[in-house]
Amino acid sequence: MTPISFEFYPPKTDEQRAQLDRTATRLKELAPDYVSVTFGAGGSTLSHTPEAIQRLRGQHAYDAAPHITCMGGSREEIRGLLKLYRALGARRLVTLRGDLPSGMVSPGDLRYASELVEFIRTETGDHFHIEVAAYPEMHPQARDSRVDIENFVRKVRAGADGAITQYFYNADAYFRFVDDVRAAGVDVPVVPGIMPISNFSQIRRFSEMCGAEIPRWIAQRMQSYGDDAASVREFGAEVVAQLCRRLIDGGAPALHFYTLNLAKPTLNVLARLG
């Protein structure tokens, strides 16, 4: 059975906390390996991510992994976060460069995810299992695909244990990426990130920001449904389930679902996978 994990974002209001609790409760029955909690640009959700980790561990008994970034942070601030997450019982981190928030000029003491991974290893040894990001369709800011692979290899050699990809809808891009990093001597697990489709305009907006490609045939079919939300959800769930089947059949070590704090889109996909 293929392991699964889920990503949540940290709630900021009581209404969002209630939504997270509902989603966490519904998804718990699927017995994920762990869940992760995102971290805003430049620490904009600094207080909310640890709170969500505590909530997911304490109330829902999840193995919860915080995202941690270096953009805009000093070594001392990152050191303090690592101490906090150790105190909360976290044993896994999702380690990212992050985005520099608008209006902030300095990127902080550490500029790249590879430097952050190296810093975490220096500070905490092997305490944390470290996941880093991978981009099967190339990081939107990379100069070219060769440089992108080199950047990924650098993160792994700095001490990463595994990787989670940006979401994609073209399985060939994932398999090509894995072949390329294996050829570069990297053998850590590369877990596909899966984004269920329930709101096509939202996914299209996300994809424009992060550089993920929506295949033309999917976009055309989605647009043909117009305001028929039920057809969009049905078609979206089947498309993503077929993607997951192909990834599993092709040897993907696990699947990591970007839930957007909603249970139903992920459940609809997993129901089709049995």
Per-residue pLDDT of the chain in tens (274 residues, 90 and over written 9): 899 999 999 999 999 999 999 999 999 999 999 999 998 644 444 578 999 999 999 999 999 999 998 866 788 989 999 999 999 999 999 999 876 555 455 556 788 899 999 999 999 999 999 999 999 998 777 778 888 899 999 999 999 999 999 999 999 999 999 999 999 999 999 999 999 998 888 899 999 888 889 999 999 999 999 888 899 999 999 999 999 999 999 999 999 999 999 999 999 999 999 8
Q: How far apart are CA 266 and CA 237, in angstroms?
A: 8
**Domain map (residue ranges) of the chain:** 4-273
Q: Residue 99: its pLDDT value, please? A: 64
Residues sharing a CB contact under 8 Å with residue 23, sequence separation 6 or more, in sequence order: 8, 259, 261, 262, 263
Phi, psi for 255 (deg, rounded to 5): -130, 135
Q: Whose structure tokens read 């941690």?
A: 68
HEC string for the chain = CCCEEEEECCCCCHHHHHHHHHHHHHHHCCCCCEEEECCCHHHCCCCHHHHHHHHHHHCCCCCEEEEEECCCECHHHHHHHHHHHHHCCCCEEEEECCCCCCCCCCCECCCCHHHHHHHHHHHHCCCCEEEEEECCCCCCCCCCHHHHHHHHHHHHHCCCCEEEEEECCCHHHHHHHHHHHHHCCCCCCEEEEECCCCCHHHHHHHHHHHCCCCCHHHHHHHHHCCCCHHHHHHHHHHHHHHHHHHHHHCCCCCEEEECCCCCHHHHHHHHHHC
Domain 4-273 has CATH 3.20.20.220: yes
Residue 270, CA distances (Å) to 100, 125, 256 in order: 35, 36, 12
Q: Residue 46: its pLDDT value, please? A: 57
Q: Residue 272: its pLDDT value, please? A: 96
pTM over 0.85: yes
For the annotated catalytic residues, the residue numbers are 7
Q: Residue 43: its pLDDT value, please? A: 46
167: how many CB neighbours lie within 10 A of its CB?
23
Q: Residue 42: its pLDDT value, please? A: 45
Pick from 10, 36, 25: which is nearest to 131 by CA?
Answer: 36
Q: Residue 44: its pLDDT value, please? A: 46
Q: How far apart are CA 121 and CA 158, in angstroms?
A: 8
Q: Residue 91: its pLDDT value, please? A: 97
